[in-house]
Structure formats: structure tokens, C-alpha cells
Structure 1
Amino acid sequence: MTATDTLTGTPIALVGLGKIAIDQHHPSILKSGAFRLAATVSRNAGLDGIPAYTSLAALLDNQPEVTAVSLCTPPQVRHAMAREALEAGLDVMLEKPPGATIAEVEALTDLAAARGRVLFATWHSRFAAGVPAAKAWLAGRQILRGTITWREDVRRWHPGQRWIWQAGGLGVFDPGINALSILTEILPAPLRLTGAELEFPENQETPIAARLSYLTGAAPIAADFDFRQEGPQSWAMEFETDDGVLSLADGGATVSAGGQNLSQGEALGSEYDGLYARFARLIATRTSEVDLSPLKHVADAFMLGRRLTTDPFIE
């Protein structure tokens, strides 16, 4: 018997050990009373004291007690692993974006339903501290216009990660989809893309910047996504309404309206804790949760966006 055998909680495996898995998923699993980290799967990394495997098949062969996996691999390879896990009878949590295409995530949703498994497509930014307060405040007001500024330094947040520049890796929409996940959560009316400009480095397959025009009802929403931000990072939204201005800062952690703080938190502070608490509830109720609206808006941007070529990106 090992030390982990004496622990309580659903045994879960962390699949993919990149920056987000190590910085966010691992600490949140350790803090969760609902899960215990039973194993990891990665081609070239591991965690001290945790059984490690280089394939999902090896995990399944050696630790049949594992009943859930959290998939943190790049989106281009996630569908095959999620399918393997669901077919093996595991419940599956997907890091955002849930896949490289809408169709493949829909196929996973159907498979999970057919096999009676739980599938959770996560949007961590919806669990930012200020998002519920922002949603409640906007619910009773008419939005007149809005601006979204989501600018960060790709070298800081995705160092050496080639997958993000390859087709299916989304480029600047990897962080931009966080903004879209908040928008689709808090807006009282649906969002519709009306125009887009996407800047592609001449040596990469995905965009480094995007300027997007939306409508929610009759209100225009302008979004500016950029991977070239140096210094302070910008994850902010502002909505002018018929009854004052709502501002979100730090990725939705801080929200103010009419000069009053509605919520104050830390960027990324408890978002992943919230994800694992939600996953535990979904498992307990045998319920899947798959909302593809943020990914659909990214797909719309690639369909409708005018492509511009910019300077090459060199790490």
C-alpha cells in the first residue's frame, strides 16, 4: 500500500504537464477535498511522488482505480485522448479550448452521453471572482456599447510552446477565448460577430492579434486581442449602459459599477479551484456540461475575419 492509497477523494489523473497544468491544475487538485491526484500522463515530465506514465493506455493498464482525467494537452491532440478515456469508462475534464474543432467536441459530447460518462468542457475565466456580480448587474440594464481589451505577452504565458502557433492552436485566441467565455456568460443578450481583422505573423499559422466587432442586441462591442503586450498585462472590459458603467479588470477578478466595487479578487486566484469543485458536482450528479459558444465565436472570427500579414514572430 502506498501513501496515496490512504487518501480520500476521487482518484484523478492529470494528463499533460505544461505550464497551466503545473501552475493551476496541480495546486487546485491538491487543495480539493473531492479529488486526489493519483497519476500523471506526459511524454517528458512528471511530479515528485506521483506515478507517471507516458501514455493514457499505460495509465489504464496499471491504475484501474483512476476514474477521472483532467486533460491539459494542446487542443490538437486532445480529441483522441478524450475519446480513449471516455471509451475506457472515465469521466473527463477538458482544459480550454475543449478541442481544435467544434465538430470533434460535439462528437465527444455524444460519446459521453452514450457511455454514461461525465464530460466537462471548462472555461476557467467564468470562475473569476467578479463574473457573477457582473452578470447580475447587467441583467437589469440596457447595454449601449462595450469595449474589450485583452492584451498579454505570449513569451511570458506560453514560453516555447510551438503548438499555439500551429493550426488548431488558436494563437491570440487562446487568451482571447477567455474574454469570449466571460462575454457569453454575463451578457443578457446573444453576441454576434459583424467584422474582424486578424494579424498573422508571416512565419506562423495562427494570429498574433485580432480586432473584432460584435453586436449584442443593438449595442456594438469592440474587442482588441493582442499577444505582443509588454509590461503590465491588460484583461479588461467596460460596458456603458442606460444606468451607469460597468468595468471588469484583471480578467474578471475585479468588477466595479457606478464607482462601487462589486467584487475584488486576484487574477486566476480561485478560478481553477472553482473548476474542480464544479467537476466534483457534475460527477456526483452524473451530469455533463459542454458549452461551445466561446469556441463558436472563435470559429466565426476565422470564417469572417480579414487576414493581414505582419512581421514574423521570433521567440
Structure 2
Amino acid sequence: MKNIKTDRNRKNNLIKSTKNTVIAGALCSALIMPSLVHGIGTLPVSASNAEIVPISYKYNHWAEVYVDQLSKNFNIESVFKGKDLEAYVTEEDFRNIVKLVLNEKYDGVPDALTREAIVHEFTRIWAEETYQSLDQIAVIQMIIYADADEIDARYNHGVTIAYMKDIAKGRNDGIFAPKDNVRYGELAALVLNTRSAIDAELSYENQPVKEERFETRGSYKIEKDKVVLDFELINHYNEAKNLEFSSGQQFEVTIADEKGEEVYRYSDGKSFTMALIYKDINPGESLKWQDIWDMTNKEGEKLTSGKYQARIDILVRLGSGVGESSEKIDESQLTTVIEFNLGV
């Protein structure tokens, strides 16, 4: 009997011991789990403080790229910080941005805050900064925009020159919308374009007369959702030159967006004859070409805004006649780059 009682006592003690062990284990688990959960969302100090570099950056508004470009060279925070790029500009901000980017002594004001008045004022400033009289600049009378008849006569000359100088090219649907008020996004693009036009004009005036060389020039215009590129190769030599094209492809055009990504290449999907082609070009004369881009990228998507760069290369060598070896022409004489904007 004693042994049986002893066994029972041992069994009861074992059960108590087991219960205590389970309870203790559960308590330990309860104390440990919060620490584990907390650790799941916690990074070491060095990791949490590390700078996160995005793989790519996507602009939320088409004009942000212009604001970014301006901010690299000018302190424009007082004009654009916290501004809705779709909001209409104020007279004060127009005057301030002109002072910051174009002429610190500017104290003028456009007749109105409409597109026609502000574009005319930017063109007037461009002429003044490049030592020209706006009224005396000759232009070819042409219908640039579908709504050209809505442009006030006093602004029409300035709007036309703005088109020629890449200050303003209208909107993608072929209209100018002259009576619309200018928004902050448009203001950023217009002031940057004006700054670029001033710099380009002054740089061109300071260049020496080009002689004894070839020169490639180009221009563009936007018509009915298409970008039309016109370009030419000019002979600045004092004698006629014979040119040799190695195939039917006489030029290449590539267009890239502001990220440098190629969106168009003229030769894509085309085939060309491999026969040699010879052309003579007299002094002062030029060979001219045209290419039209339908504003779609390589994925077939229509592009309606942004800044683009077209590079034009003339694929030619200096010929010595049929059967003779040709001579390479310096690449700088056969290349030109055209920058243009969509959506302004």
C-alpha cells in the first residue's frame, strides 16, 4: 500500500510539474512574441537612414521638366514653389520670372495675361535682348494656326516670330488658343524657350563666317499632330563639290525624349537601294530634305507633351568621280540637332 501511495504522489507531482512547465512556456512565449512582432517592422539604424534612390522618376505634369530645367540655373522658387501648374499666372509672377531668367531690370507688363499677349511680350523681350527691333523683323505671311484669325492684329507679328524662333509653337491640335489665359506650366515652358532663343541668337551672331566647309541646318514646324523637319546641306566652299551617297538612304533622323530614350528613327522599317548616288553642289547652294514624324513612339503610343531632340545626320562623302575613291567629310559638318517642345 505504501508503494501504491508513493507512486500516486509521484504521479501528482509529475502532473503539477508538467502543468507548471506548460504555463511557464506559454508565459515565455507571450513575453517573446511582442518582441518578434516589433522586430518585423524595424530596420537597423543604418538601413532606415540610408537614402533610397528611385529606379526612375515619372513627372506628374508635362511642364515639370521645364521647371526642373529652370531651377538648375535660376532661383525660381519664389514663383513656382507650391504652385499648381494648371493655375493661371498672375501679373506679379510674370514680372518676377522675367526678372529672374531674362532681364533683372525688366519693369514692363503684358497688355493682358492671355496667350497672345504674353507670347508677344516674350518675343518683344527676345528682340530687345538680341539688339533687334521687333517691328522691323521681316516674316513670311503664312497661316500657322487653324485659329489664326482669332489672334489680335497687334499681336500677330510677335506670335509669328515666336513660332519661327521656337518660343511658342501652339498646341498639338494645330491651334494657338490666343484668348486663353496662360497657366504656370505654360509660363515655365515659355520663359525657358525664350531664354534658349536669346542664347541661340547671340551665339549665332558671334560665330565667324563659315567658309571652305559644309554646313547642315535644320528647322521644324508642327502641323496637324505631325512634326515636320526641314534640313539642308550647304556648300560654303568657293568651288563646286561632288558628293557621294553610298545608298538610297541619304540621311538619318533620330528623335529622343528628355530622358534620352529614342522614340523615332527614320530608317526603321525601310529598305534602301545599295547603288552609289552622286550629286554636284555649287558654291552657296544646298541640298534639301524633309522628314515627317507622326508623334508616335516605337511602341505606337501618341506623344502629346514634353521636350524632344532631333538629331539629323547627312550620310555622304566627298566624291572624286565615278570609279575614284571618296573622301570622308568631318562629322560636325554633316550633323545638326533640333530641340522642340510638344504641348506648348
TM-score (norm 1): 0.27
Which structure exhibits the higher relative contact order, with contacts defined as CA atoms closer than 8 Å and separated by 6 or more residues?
1
More strand by proportion, 1 or 2?
Answer: 1
Larger Rg: 2
TM-score (norm 2): 0.25
